[in-house]
Structure 1
C-alpha cells in the first residue's frame, strides 16, 4: 500500500472555523452559463446547468509512473452521444497505456468543454494532453449530437459537403499570414473525405457566429508552429454551412438555454444534514474520510450513506465537474461536508508553469464558490504530485493522505472497505474516489465498522485544527 503523509503549506495550524459563508441556492450567474470572452475570436463555451441530471464521469489512473485522467459527460436523453464519447476517450486511454507508459514521465489528460447544449444540438470540444511516446503534444477535437435524428456527428457535419473547396480557399486566406503555414499541406489534407474527417476535426463558433477551425500541430504547417487556428467571419461562413451547422450556429449566438431531449431526469434526494455537534478529537478517536475526483454519478448516493451515520467528510472536487453539477456540490456543502480544491481538470500540476498553476486553482475555487457559496480551505493536487512551484503557487494548504485504499485500482467494494478499516488510526486521512460505484458501495461497511470501534468522522479542516491545537 502506498502511504503518503500530510503536507501542509502556509499556516502550520488551522482553526475549526467554517471555510466559508452559509451556502445559498441561487440561479447560476451569467459567468456560469457562458464563458467570458476576452477576445473576439475566442471559442464560445457553456456550462449547461439547465440540463437536469447532467453528470461528468472522470475515471483516472493514479499510478504515479503512468498517470491518466479521462472524462466524458452523461447527458440524460442523449445516451448515444454519451456512449460515443465514452468509447472515444477509452480508446485513447488504451492507446496511451500501450504506447506511452514505458516512456519517461508520461501523462494523459482528456478534458472537455460544452460548445453548445441548447435546442436540439449538443457540441463538445476535447483537449488532449498526451505526454510521452509518439503521440506527445496537444491536440483538440469536436464532436456533435443532432437530437432530431439521435446521431453523433464529426466536426465536418457543420459544413455542406459541396462547400469544402470554398472552405479550403477561405481557410488558406485566413492562415496565409500565420508563421509556418504550408498551403499545399492544407490542400492535401482536405483533398478527400478520408483525410478530411481526420484532420478537419475541430470546428467551433464564437459568440458572434464566426467559425473557428483549429488544426493540430504539423497538419497544415511545420510542427514548431504548433496548432494553427483560422477564424472565418459569420457572413463568410454561413453559405458554407450545412443545415445542421446553421442550427448549431444559431444556438451558439442566441441560445435557448434549454435542451429538447426526452431523457430521464435524475431525482434529487432530500438529505438530512450531518451532525453539527462539536467533536473533540483529543478526547475521542477521529478520522477524516476524503473523496477525490467528483462530483460524479454516485455522489448523491454517497451523501445519503454519510447522512445515515451522521458522518462528515471532505470532498476534493474537480472544477470542471463542479461547473457541470453545481446542484450536487451545493447539496454536499448544505449537508455539512467540506469542499476542497482538486484542480480544474485533474492535470499533473507539476507539469504546469507557475501562472498556469495559479490560474487552474483559482478557476476551480471560483467554480466551487459559485456552486456552493463557500471557498475551499485546502488543495489536494492530482496524483499527489507536488514540487516547489506547486507549493508556492497554491492559495491554500496542501493536504495529502495517510491511508490509500487503492480504490481506483481495485474495483472491489469488500477490498476497499478492508483497506480503509485496517489502515484507520486516530487522526488518519483516508483516500477514496467517489466516482467509482464500488467505492460508494464500500462506505456503509466502513462507517459501520469504524463507528463500532469508537471512531468519529470529521472533515480534514476539523481534524487538522483539533490535532494541531
Structure 2
C-alpha cells in the first residue's frame, strides 16, 4: 500500500455530482504522416466490448507502496493463442518492473498496462496494450498491437497485416515519411530498418483508421530522439491496400465496415451467469443505533468473481460499495446493472487504474468522467463517490473532480495474500464499528473470504451498508 496517513474515509466529503465526458489517460506525443509532433491521426471506430461473447478481462494489481502496478488484457474465446501472447508480454514487463524498479524502497514508481479493442468483427480481432512505466529505467509510454485471424485460427503479429513481398515497399514509405521530421536521424533510421530484428521490433503497433488507412506508431526513442516523443505515420488506403496480406485486407475491411458479430471459431462460448437479486426497498439501517460496517470492493467487475460475490451478499442481505474500473464496466455493464439492482452502491475507480497524482487536471477529469459515463450508461445513475487508485490523492486530484473521495480504515492486503482464511481473519479481527474495509473482487480468494466475514460479523451484530449510507446516517 502506498505510504500515507490514512485519513478516515468518513471525513473525505465533497460535492456529489459529476459531469460526463470522453477522453484518454495519457495520450502520446504523435506526428501523423508528415505533420508536426502532437498532430492527431485519423480516428478508428469504437468497439463495444460488451458485445464480445464470453469476454473476460484478466486484471491484476499490487498496492505495494514502493512499486504499485495495475495490468489488464482481454481473454476472448477462440483467440487463446493471442491471449497467451499478451499474457507472456505482460508477465515479462511485470518481471522486469519487479526486478528493477521494485528492488529499491523509494516511492514514485508504478506500472500500468491497459487495453483497448481495435476491431472485434467477423473473423478478426485486434487489441492494443498500452504500457505506462514510471520506473527510472523506463522511457515511459509504449504501445503494442495484437491480431487474431479467426479464419486461419492463428495469432498474427502486426507485420502480418502486410504481404511478405510488400514489406520492403512499406518500410520505404515509412522511412520516406519519417525523414525530415524533427528529432529523426536519417542514418539511425536506415540502421534500424536495415536490421531485420530491430526493424521487426519497431513495427509492433499497426492498425487501421475508420477510412482504411494503415496507421503505424513508433514508441518514444525508436525512430527519433526520446525528447521528440512517439511518432505516428498514417499511409492512405489507396497506397497500402495493394500491399496488404489476405488477413490484412480482412482486418482493414472489418475496421471500415464492421460485421454485427465476432466469430473466431470457438467450439463453445460460455454465457456468464448474471445474478438477478433485487433489493427490497431502501436501506433503513440507522448506524447511530446499530453497529455498521462498509465493505468496499475495487477493480471490478470481473467474470465470474463478481457474480459469485453478489450471490454471497444476497444470502445475508448485505449491501456494499463497488469501486469499478471503467474499462471493465464497458466490458461487463450487465454485472454493474446487477450490482445496482441488488441495492449496492457503484463508485468510480478511474478508467484504467493509473496513479492520478501523476496526471494533469485534464487527464484526471478524463479518467473519472469517462468512467462515470460508463457507469451511468449501465445503471442510469451517475456515481457520486470515487476511490483514487492506490489511495493516491492530492489537491490537483481533488480539484479536478466534483466526486467525493473515499479511502479506507481497514486494508486487507488481499492483493498480496491470496488466502481466503487470512483475508477473512484480517477483516474480522481489525474491523470496528463504522469502518470502511478495502477488498478487491477481481481476486477469487477475496470473494471466497466473504461468506466467513458476513457470517461472523453478522453474529456480532454488524450491519453491512454502503459508504454513502454510512455517511448519511452518522
TM-score by length of 1: 0.90
From 279, 283, 289, the counterpart of 2:289: 283
From 320, 325, 328, the counterpart of 2:327: 320
From 274, 288, 295, the counterpart of 2:301: 295
Equivalents in 2 of 1:328, 1:189: separation in Å? Answer: 47
Residue 346 of structure 2 corresponds to residue 352 of structure 1: no
Task: Report the aligned-residue RMSD.
Answer: 2.1
User: 1:27-426 to 2 correspondence within 5 Å?
Assistant: 41-102=42-103, 104=106, 105-261=108-264, 262=266, 263-276=268-281, 277-297=283-303, 298-426=305-433
1:33-58, Cα deviation, whole Å (9 max, x unpaired): xxxxx966134442322112212121
Report runs of 4+ in structure 1 exceeding 6 Å deviation: none
SS of structure 2 residue aligned to 1:190: helix
1:190-217, Cα deviation, whole Å (9 max, x unpaired): 2243223211100011111111101111
1:359-379, Cα deviation, whole Å (9 max, x unpaired): 111111111111221111101
Alignment CA distance shift 1:177-1:334 (3 Å): farther
1:356-410, Cα deviation, whole Å (9 max, x unpaired): 1111111111111112211111010000001110111122110000011110000
For structure 1, the residue ranges without an aligned partner over 5 or more in a row are: 21-30, 32-37
Alignment CA distance shift 1:357-1:286 (3 Å): same
Q: CA deviation at 1:162?
A: 1.5
1:271-328, Cα deviation, whole Å (9 max, x unpaired): 3223434111111111111000011121111111111111111000001111111111
Equivalents in 2 of 1:266, 1:421: separation in Å? Answer: 35
Q: Residue 325 of structure 2 contacts residue 353 of structure 2 at CA under 8 Å; is this kept in 1?
A: yes
Equivalents in 1 of 2:292, 2:383: separation in Å? Answer: 21
1:207-237, Cα deviation, whole Å (9 max, x unpaired): 1111110111111111111101101111111
Q: Paired residue for 1:27?
A: none
SS of structure 1 residue aligned to 2:385: coil
1:152-188, Cα deviation, whole Å (9 max, x unpaired): 2211111112112111221123334532123333332
SS of structure 1 residue aligned to 2:408: coil
1:90-109, Cα deviation, whole Å (9 max, x unpaired): 11111111111246521110
Equivalents in 2 of 1:428, 1:119: separation in Å? Answer: 49
TM-score by length of 2: 0.90
User: 1:452-467 to 2 correspondence within 5 Å?
Assistant: 452-467=459-474
Q: Residue 183 of structure 1 contacts residue 220 of structure 1 at CA under 8 Å; is this kept in 2?
A: no
For structure 2, the residue ranges without an aligned partner over 5 or more in a row are: 24-38
SS of structure 2 residue aligned to 1:461: helix
Equivalents in 1 of 2:274, 2:111: separation in Å? Answer: 35
SS of structure 2 residue aligned to 1:101: helix
Equivalents in 1 of 2:75, 2:328: separation in Å? Answer: 11
Equivalents in 2 of 1:169, 1:250: separation in Å? Answer: 24
Equivalents in 1 of 2:229, 2:41: separation in Å? Answer: 21
Q: Residue 326 of structure 2 contacts residue 370 of structure 2 at CA under 8 Å; is this kept in 1?
A: yes
From 419, 437, 456, the counterpart of 1:430: 437
Q: Residue 10 of structure 1 contacts residue 396 of structure 1 at CA under 8 Å; is this kept in 2?
A: no
Q: Paired residue for 1:451?
A: 458
1:112-142, Cα deviation, whole Å (9 max, x unpaired): 1000111111111111111123223111111
Q: CA deviation at 1:146?
A: 1.3
Equivalents in 1 of 2:334, 2:82: separation in Å? Answer: 23
Q: Paired residue for 2:8?
A: 6
Equivalents in 2 of 1:383, 1:466: separation in Å? Answer: 27
Equivalents in 1 of 2:455, 2:153: separation in Å? Answer: 45
SS of structure 1 residue aligned to 2:406: coil
